[in-house]
Structure 1
Amino acid sequence: MATSIEELKLNVLRNYSACDVSDALLKLQKLPEGTTARAGHIVDLVPFSPTIARSANLSKIIAPASTFKFIPKSDPIPIGDSGESHGFPAGTHWVDFAEPGTVAVIEQPAGQHCAVLGGIMAVRMKYLGVKGVVVNGRVRDLGEISECQLPVWARATSSVGTAAEAKPGARNVPVSLGGVTVAPGDIVFCDPLEGVVAIPRELLDQVLELMPKLVAMDDNVKEAVRQGSNVFDAFKKFRTKI
């Protein structure tokens, strides 16, 4: 669960968009030479619940990440994970480890056609107090997911259950989604209009400090353009180096 201080910070984030967050991360993150900047944006995610549409009228979902890593059905469970802190002990189900107050982030192996989240899992997560789910793969039972009002973002859908191709491999480990690594405790920012961004936990304070400056500069640029300025001159005048 987020601390009271962190909750205040997350509430401040609600005043901004996913684009504002990415603008800040683009300046703050230091990447190896030749690496493509992702700025926290997890690509190609679609909101499948509570409605299958992007909308400015829906609430942002902003919370720390808890993570689940699925692996191919035929792969062995990673050594050391079975029954330990990052695994799933015998006689348990992966979804029962979903953590209240978090966004559950699920990594599914690339190229699979089954779903890794369905109606029963969504209902259980909702009961446990999960704030939302982000899946870099497929989901199913959209009617049930929507009915339980659990916000769910995913890449696509399937009518096929998880057991056809996948199985849970580990929990609360770093997961990779579209070139963005999400670690447990990172802040997941689900913007119902602009998309999903992950903020590394260690950069949260810097993002909160930088965003107002960047937004103010862009507001000045937009006003200048409204008044007839060309964009080059407006950028030159108001977009200072930070």
Structure 2
Amino acid sequence: MTAQSPASRPLTVNERTLVQDWILDLVPGDGAAVGNKTLKQRLEQKAELHDFAVTDEDYWSIREELIARGKLQKGSGRGGSVFRFDSSWKPSAQQTAIDEQYNWEDLDEPVSDSPESLEKLRSRLLDLSARNRLLNFSHARSKRFARIIDELPDHLFETLTADQAMRFAPVPEPTERQLIEQGYLKYDEQTGSVSELKKPPTAETWAQLLGIETSYELPTGSESPGDKHADDAI
């Protein structure tokens, strides 16, 4: 007779209860969404320490049970997410350490635009720790946002709220001639060949060479829209 491996046997009643408690511990009570993928990974790590496994079927079954009981709510985001509101919830030292250790890649989608959700988000501004995405935004390269440069925020806002159509205009790709003129490429007149002298410029570097403002600092309120801010390109 052979014993079942942790991954092949169903969870016991006590193990299911333990997983439920872990989920409620890992999902903060301030309305911040936690992605399903990240949450399941954390549960698998915890279960391994207790010599049992949480399968996909186990996770979705327990998740739906908690949602049905009103303990969790469904959120959006890549792969879906969950969130909850608990007025008595306070972040523990352990929860803060987890949030700072892990980059919750799939937690960034807003959970809802309901008044209750917006009020909770407003209250989260009181949290000055690194886990508060409303205050600590990373400008690292990402497919989840597009960086807008060389625009006047107030003028852009007025244009968009006036329902004027606008388009995204990327930084122009440098031509071979421009790269030669800027010292990135070398043209050999004898052979007619072109060789690389240094790595091609990044979009930010090339924008600066073209005279496009790339600073993260917002312009002063005294600046007035010029010709380049009066077009329909963002």
When normalised by structure 1's length, the TM-score is 0.24
Q: Which structure features the higher share of strand residues?
A: 1
Q: Which has the larger radius of gyration?
A: 2
If asked which structure has higher relative contact order (CA below 8 Å, sep 6+), I would say 1
Q: Which structure features the higher share of helix residues?
A: 2
